[in-house]
Structure 1
Amino acid sequence: MTKKLSVVNRRQFLRQAGISAGAGLVASHSMTQVLAANSAEQDRRLQFTKDDLPTSWVSEESAAQTTTSQAVERTCIAPSIETRLFASSNVGGSNERIQLALQRLACAGFKVDNPAITSRQYLRFAGTDSQRASDLQNIATGAIEAPKLLLGVRGGYGAVRLLPMVDWSTLGRIMQERGTILAGFSDVTAIQCALLAKGDMSSLAAPMLYSEFGKTNPDQVSCRQFSEALTNPSLAITVPDASLTSTNLPSILASGEPKTITGTIWGGNLSVVSALAGSEYLPRIRGGIVFLEDVGEQAYRIERMLYDLYLAGVFEGQQAIVFGALSGSGEDSYDKRYDVATVIRQLQQLTGLPIYSGMSFGHIGNKHSFPLGARCQISENTTGGYQLAFTDYSTIKAASVHTEGLWQSV
């Protein structure tokens, strides 16, 4: 079915979206002017954390797509998807970037009920611990009705401080009843692990408000795949090779012939997962598939975190390990031969588990969102890669989402 798009003027759109001009961008200015003010130079001055993607890492293909899109007629739909933000980690940093992201979400069909939380700050965090925990705990208590989408503002650090302050069991039950989707990655991994471990509820590994949708030029591939994962109940991702993890690895590293594997996929950012080792907030999934990604960690630090998990018994009873991007790992100053590939080969020998590398998710451009805590089937394909097929997770009606709005000017 073709979605009906309506072209609205900017003042009408802001009124429909519930975003006041006084809250950020002045209604008399066009989004093109805002984009010019929020220049690439300004983006570079912002301090990057693990949820940010430096502009130099964006592929030429993605940049070309964005340039082309600027010549396309701008269209928006009336926002109807009940959406709430949660700010569990770093403060946003740029109000212009936040307001731009909010307008893009509204253009794409997401009706954000609590944009004011983006202005909170306590030290480096997006509010006090109590304020940040309340974004989720108020849903668990029933003080706020569960939305269809709970979208993380950004990552960085701070989510781990909130874990004892949320009733994850009740929150998970309410989210299951409502079909709520919690989306984020990076530091939000702590929230996703706790929700799965204590609330038996899946979530979505996906881009976030500030770290993607507020960019001057959002990554169109990541935006499209975000929409795909939100709306497709039978999501499948094909991985052609291991290059996103390491060019020195095969896509499948196994002791014998790889077999089709089915189990619950869980995990996220390696730094966060390893920090939860030994706690009640780390999922204990029988026959699970562990997913891990990270950025800016040297090979020895990656290995140390993997040993944390290994020595804590986390890999026991698992069927496989899947690696996404391990970007920005650099070279070892003692011996360049000691690299990510060496670390992963050592892990395979330690655990005996098949390891699948090159999954297109992490702190990279062109990433594929996917559900964590859902059923996942991994199967080898005939071209040397593999495919992940997902089932049993919440989705949103595709007709409610106007994907192009996630990167358009309004």
Structure 2
Amino acid sequence: MRRRELLGGLGMATAGAALGKRAVQAQELSTLLPPRLRSGDVVGIVSPAGATFERDRLDLVVDAVTALGFTPRVAPHALARYGYLAGTDTERAADVNAMFADPAVKALLPVRGDWGSARILPYLDYDLIRANPKVVIGFSDISALLLGLYARTGLVTFHGPHGITAWRADQVEPLRQILVEGAALTYRNPLLGADQDRLMRDQGRIHTIAPGRASGPLLGGNLSVVSGIVGSPYMPDTTGAILFLEDVGEPPYSIDRMLTQLKLAGVLDGLAGFVFGQCTACGPGSGYGSLTLADILHDHIRPLGIPAYAGAWIGHVEPIWTLPMGGVVTMDAAEGTLAMETAAVT
């Protein structure tokens, strides 16, 4: 019994020290905006996560960066492979560090997501990164990199397209306005397909969990990825934040489990607002008596007493919005909108 008490005390002390370190870190770091992009700027193409098995996938990214008016620079290990990863952890991290160290490079664009970004977080040079702020953009597994950079440096990153997404006009134009022009945009779900000619909206509907407006730094990303870094020094303090989450291919019980993890870890405590995006292919399947996604969100989010809505056009859908991770936004849970308060670049 005495040994259990001692170990329990040590565990609480260790947890307290870790939380204290995060709190001090959050207080010491000021928000850091990257410089805006200009025509001809060099964009570093990196692979911090999953391997790119076909050369033509990388060529597509090079073509996209060129078509956007920038100059592509491919990282040395962009086509490396260590199993399902794009090289070893140290190789992938070295590419990211090198891009931040190169004064000619103004932005980092990952080829793809899949899995692996969290594995490189201990190997990044955060002092170097903070001294050389640059645009970093991506989604899905890249959420870990975006959150880790913000947590450790205060750098505003961008939850948006990665290299092999579709670079259509409705995706390119908002990205250009935010990263090149320094615009502060307001986002609402687009009208899609047949909905453009209908009296009512069928796709992209929002569900207001609790009405109201709230402002705060926007943080979040893929739920599976976010839940995987909870408790680490790479998970930002979410107090006062607007938390957004999305996922793909997860059954309802899995969504429930991960939201429960966030709840038990205190991530949901002190939020200013909550937004759930799209959960593509997240239906209950043939399971009998399954809770629905709406049930799960109602159970976990409504008791928080904060403005909240679900169905935002965020996730593994197109067009992919470019959202400032760490930038201040105002959400309206009844209207289903996210509005940037200021420019996210200098």
Q: Is 1:166 aligned with 2:115?
A: no
Task: Provide the residue aligned with 1:340 in structure 2.
Answer: 293
2:144 to 180, 183, 190: 190
Task: Provide the residue aligned with 1:200 in structure 2.
Answer: 154
1:3-47 superposed Cα distances (whole Å, 9 cap, x missing partner): xxxxxxxxxxxxxxxxxxxxxxxxxxxxxxxxxxxxxxxxxxxxx
Alpha-carbon separation, structure 2, partners of 1:243 and 1:352:
28
**Partner SS state of residue 259, structure 2:** helix
Task: Provide the residue aligned with 1:251 in structure 2.
Answer: 207
**Partner SS state of residue 281, structure 1:** coil
1:91-130 map, 5 Å? 91-114=51-74, 116-130=76-90
1:236-247 map, 5 Å? 236-239=186-189
Alpha-carbon separation, structure 2, partners of 1:389 and 1:138:
34
Alpha-carbon separation, structure 2, partners of 1:240 and 1:101:
25
Alpha-carbon separation, structure 2, partners of 1:377 and 1:304:
28
Alpha-carbon separation, structure 2, partners of 1:279 and 1:313:
13
8 Å Cα contact 2:184/2:344 also seen in 1: no
Which segments of 5 or more consecutive residues in structure 2 lack a partner in the other structure?
A: 1-37, 192-200
Q: Is 1:279 aligned with 2:229?
A: no
1:383-402 map, 5 Å? 384-395=334-345
Task: Provide the residue aligned with 1:235 in structure 2.
Answer: 185
1:192-238 superposed Cα distances (whole Å, 9 cap, x missing partner): 1111111111111111112x15xxxx544333333333234211112
**Partner SS state of residue 182, structure 1:** strand
With the length of structure 1 as denominator, give the TM-score of the two structures. Answer: 0.67
8 Å Cα contact 1:263/1:375 also seen in 2: yes
Q: CA deviation at 1:244?
A: 7.0
1:263 to 194, 201, 216: 216
Q: CA deviation at 1:366?
A: 2.1
Q: CA deviation at 1:127?
A: 1.4
Q: CA deviation at 1:181?
A: 0.9
**Partner SS state of residue 271, structure 2:** coil
Task: Provide the residue aligned with 1:156 in structure 2.
Answer: 114
Alpha-carbon separation, structure 2, partners of 1:221 and 1:324:
18
Aligned partner letter, 2:317: I
Aligned partner letter, 2:177: E
Which segments of 5 or more consecutive residues in structure 1 lack a partner in the other structure?
A: 1-77, 397-410
Alpha-carbon separation, structure 2, partners of 1:191 and 1:243:
34
| Identical residues among aligned pairs (%) | 29
**Partner SS state of residue 118, structure 1:** coil
Change (3 A) 1:189 1:244: farther
**Partner SS state of residue 253, structure 1:** strand
1:10-409 map, 5 Å? 80-114=40-74, 116-139=76-99, 142=101, 144-145=102-103, 147-175=105-133, 180-210=134-164, 212-213=165-166, 218-231=167-180, 232-239=182-189, 251-254=207-210, 258-335=211-288, 338-379=291-332, 384-395=334-345
Aligned partner letter, 1:160: A
8 Å Cα contact 2:45/2:75 also seen in 1: yes
Alpha-carbon separation, structure 2, partners of 1:335 and 1:385:
34
Aligned partner letter, 1:188: I
**Partner SS state of residue 105, structure 2:** coil
8 Å Cα contact 1:240/1:251 also seen in 2: no
Q: CA deviation at 1:169?
A: 4.3
RMSD (Å), alpha carbons: 2.5
Alpha-carbon separation, structure 1, partners of 2:309 and 2:109:
28
